[in-house]
Amino acid sequence: MKHVIVSGGSRGLGLAIVKHLLEEGYMVSTCSRAKTSEIDQLTSQYPYFQWFQAEIGNAAQTALFVKQACDWAKETQLWAIINNAGIAKEGILATFPNIESDTLLQVNLHGALYLAREALRVFLRQNSAGRIINISSIIGSRGYTGLAAYSASKAGLDGLTRALARENGRRNITINSIAPGYLDTEMSSILSDKKRDQIIRRTPMHRLGTVEDITPAISFLLSDGAAFITGQTLTIDGGITT
């Protein structure tokens, strides 16, 4: 059994990833700031699942989360970290408070960097191969009006992916990003109906993405078949960026 840590697994894409990996037989630990009923349900259903309360972006809490998760998994080696926790807030930059940008970058970028650092330290201690998957967004490469800080955070994440891939290839640790298009989750509820309709019209597949469109790619990147793929950003967006 392999242990995978997923940040932000209480709802949305993170919850779907957690469920998918549990069904595939991974040992999974996750965190979020608040617990949800889905977490309680998974806890009673799967002995190899554990939730921790942690605020990703807070360096001490992020490190403690990884330590607690690895202590809980005991003899099972850490195989991967999936940097999924993220927040989005809309507003044109000229009137967007700096504090909001700071918080957003702290969670989406610094939090992912801290988690990657902790994972790499565990891989070093284990003297093992490993995987890091960063959940980015097409907005990191394309930009989007009203999402400057979010876009910057995701572009930063893709840069982190490339740099870490170079730094860790020799140790058989791969680092990749997955860049979803617009998914039908709580996060995308910040979009107005007009923007939603516009996105659907511009998407060749003519719909928003679902979390199930993303989870198979996670399985693939965790599999032995993906051992030579590193430093890449895999776009899954129904063709909207083509």
Q: Is 182 a catalytic residue?
A: no
Q: Is 123 left (phi over 0), alpha (psi -120 to 50) or beta?
A: alpha
End-to-end Cα spacing for the chain = 38
CA distance 139 to 32: 23
Nearer to ligand NAP, 54 or 222 (CB): 54
Q: What share of the chain is helix, strand, coil (3-state, %, to 5)?
A: 50, 15, 30
Catalog residues that contact ligand NAP under the rule CB under 6 A.
Answer: 7-14, 31-34, 54-57, 84-88, 107, 135, 137, 180, 182-183, 185-188
Query: Least distance to ligand NAP from the beta carbon of 189, Å?
Result: 9
Name the residue among 140, 183, 182, 147 with its Cα closest to residue 162: 140
CA distance 235 to 204: 14
Q: How far lies 201's CA from each of 30, 181, 205, in Å?
A: 35, 14, 9
CA distance 234 to 177: 6
Catalytic residue among 26, 144, 150, 182: 150
DSSP state letters, 220-232: HHHSGGGTT--S-
Catalytic residues: 150
